[in-house]
Structure formats: C-alpha cells, structure tokens
C-alpha cells in the first residue's frame, strides 16, 4: 500500500443494548410447538406439516384458517428432540448476532419474508418437479411432509453472513495516510478474535447438520424433510439481500469523512443513555466542537441506518 493511500479499517457494528427478545420468542415458539405436536397422533401430522398435496386441497377449498395453522406448525414444529435442539442452537447463534445488529424492525422483516416466501417457492418447485411413481420408486414429492424452522434459520443465516464476519472498508472519506505513518501499523487483535471461533465455522456446521438431517429423515423418518434446496437458497438470499442493502446504505452516509462518523457515533452513545434526541444532538455537537445544525443534519441523514463505526 502506498503511504498516501487512505488507511482501511475493520467495520465495527454498534450492537443494540436491548436483549434479543425476538430471537427469544422464536425459541419459545419452537419449544411450545414441539410440545403441542408431541401429543398428536402421527396420522395427524399430514394436516399440521407442509404437505404439498394437502396444501393443494386447502387452497382449492379456501380453508384459510387451516392454512395459517399449517404455516405456523411447519415453521416452528419439530418431529423429534434432535431437530428441536439443533434448531434452537442455530437460531440462538445466528439470531442473537443479527437481531442486535439489525435492530428489531429490520430483523422482523427478515423473519416475515423467511417464513413465507420460501414456502411459496417450495410449493411451486414441488408442483413443477418431474415426479415418478413407478413401482419400487420413492413416494411422490407431493406427499413429503416438510417441518422445522429451516427456512427462517436460512434467512437469518443470510443476514449473518453479511453482518458477522469482519470486513475492511475505507472509512477515511479519502483522507490520506499521515506522512510519518509510512508502513501499516501492527494492530493487536483482541483475545476474542485470536481464540474465538470463526463465524464461518457456525455457517459450515449449519449446512453440514442440515445435510445430515436430510439424509436421516430419508432413512429413519421416511416421508419427512426439512425443505428443498431451491427454496433454501431463496431464503438465504432474502437475508443476504436485506443485510447487504442496509450495509451499503450505511456506508453511503460516511462519504463525508471521519468527522461525520464520530459525530453520529457520539450521538448514538448519548441516545442509548435515555437522553432525548435534541439533547443528544447538542451533546455530540459540544463534544466535537461542531455547529448543532450540522450535527443535526448528519443525524437526520443517518436515521434508520445500521450503526457502524
């Protein structure tokens, strides 16, 4: 790197101070739904899981209440404790990070789209698949019962891929490197980065588990599955697309240089202390020695964006 090139640094996401309540609610919903389904006869699962042939009948007869029941149990149910335990683990790992960095509103959008659109894709994909019902072959895909928070977790995972791994981007606003700083400074990594697990480890573990779960269901619990690959790819794309758009939008607000970045960061710190909006703006302006109107303008432009520094 040339000594006058703008220095690059890692993006730091300023996480929300509030606990991940929505992720906690997802975990509770999964446990509660498993408890409800555990008392059902196995023959009733055809009406409680996403079974394409049953969904076709529900749509044809316009039984919308029944469709809502299928949507809920298919998204949050589990057929055994192994699936429940793994679902809770990955929802906790991915959901906690994503919720604290996106905020509850954006996080809810990811969950809403991840729990609906992939099922539409799954229904379309199953109905358009070439299905063979020759003697000795497997049952029709129309009769497979899909269950589990697989698509919701995939959508959260898509956002996690964008938000969790460290990134280096130019936040200098084009300011050159100081003349005395000819070489890159050696930055000591914190202990959590040196000895903590890489975020990609959890991503790899999730996909390995899902492939294993898919194989187990074929041989141990025939007739059940977690979801199709095409619908899963769409689900991951939902979370990835939303998080990428929000990150790009946040980066756009810092083209005016590090002064704006620091002013917005100080404003957010004051706001987290239950200070009013006006007082936070004035406090940031005094701390930075800047006009109040200038800080107010920067804050308004940065409103509803991801918090990064």
pLDDT one-digit tens code per residue, 107-154 = 999 999 999 999 999 988 876 543 433 444 445 677 888 998 999 999
Measured distance CA(159)–CA(143) in Å, rounded: 32
Mean pLDDT for the chain?
A: 77
Q: Worst-scoring range by mean pLDDT, 27-31, 58-62, 178-182, 207-211?
A: 178-182
Give how far Cα 203 sits from Cα of 48, 89, 94, Å.
Answer: 29, 12, 9
* pLDDT value, residue 116: 94
CATH number of 9-180+193-252: 1.20.1540.10
Give the residue-averaged pLDDT of 47-56: 86
153 in Cβ contact with 238 (< 8 Å): no
- CATH match of 256-309 with 1.10.10: yes
CA 218 to chain centre: 28
Residue 261 has pLDDT above 60, yes or no: yes
Measured distance CA(51)–CA(63) in Å, rounded: 15
Angle at 239 between CA 236 and CA 242, to 5 degrees: 140
Q: Is 127 exposed, middle or buried (0-12, 13-18, 19+ CB in 10 A)?
A: middle
| Position with higher pLDDT, 42 vs 100 | 100
* pLDDT value, residue 133: 39
Domain ranges for the chain, please list them: 9-180+193-252, 256-309
* pLDDT value, residue 10: 55
Residue 186 has pLDDT above 70, yes or no: no
Beta-strand relationship, 224-225 and 145-146: parallel
């Amino acid at each position: 790197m040339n000594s006058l090139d703008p220095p690059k640094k890692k993006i730091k996401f300023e996480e929300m101070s509030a606990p991940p309540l929505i992720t906690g609610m997802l975990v509770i919903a999964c446990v509660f739904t498993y408890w409800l389904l555990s008392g059902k006869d196995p023959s009733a699962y055809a009406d409680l899981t996403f079974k394409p042939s049953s969904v076709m009948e529900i749509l044809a007869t316009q039984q919308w209440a029944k469709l809502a029941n299928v949507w809920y149990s298919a998204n949050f149910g589990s057929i055994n404790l192994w699936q429940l335990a793994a679902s809770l683990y990955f929802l906790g790992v991915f959901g906690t990070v994503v919720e604290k960095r996106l905020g509850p509103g954006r996080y809810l959008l990811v969950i809403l789209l991840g729990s609906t659109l992939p099922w539409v894709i799954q229904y379309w994909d199953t109905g358009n698949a070439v299905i063979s019902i020759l003697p000795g072959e497997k049952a029709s895909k129309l009769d497979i019962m899909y269950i589990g928070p697989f698509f919701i977790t995939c959508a959260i995972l898509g956002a996690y891929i964008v938000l969790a791994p460290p990134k280096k981007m130019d936040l200098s606003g084009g300011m050159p490197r100081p003349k005395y700083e000819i070489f890159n400074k050696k930055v000591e990594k914190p202990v959590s980065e040196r000895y903590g697990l890489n975020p990609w480890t959890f991503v790899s573990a999730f996909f390995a588990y899902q492939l294993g779960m898919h194989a187990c269901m074929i041989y141990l619990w025939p007739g059940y599955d977690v979801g199709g690959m095409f619908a899963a790819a769409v689900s991951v794309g939902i979370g990835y697309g939303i998080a990428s758009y929000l990150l790009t939008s946040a980066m756009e607000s810092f083209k005016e240089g590090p002064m704006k970045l620091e002013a917005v960061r100080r404003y957010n710190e004051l706001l987290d202390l239950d200070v009013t909006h006006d007082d936070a703006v004035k406090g940031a302006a005094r701390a930075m020695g800047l006009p109040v109107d200038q800080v107010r303008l920067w804050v308004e432009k940065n409103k509803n964006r991801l918090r990064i520094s």
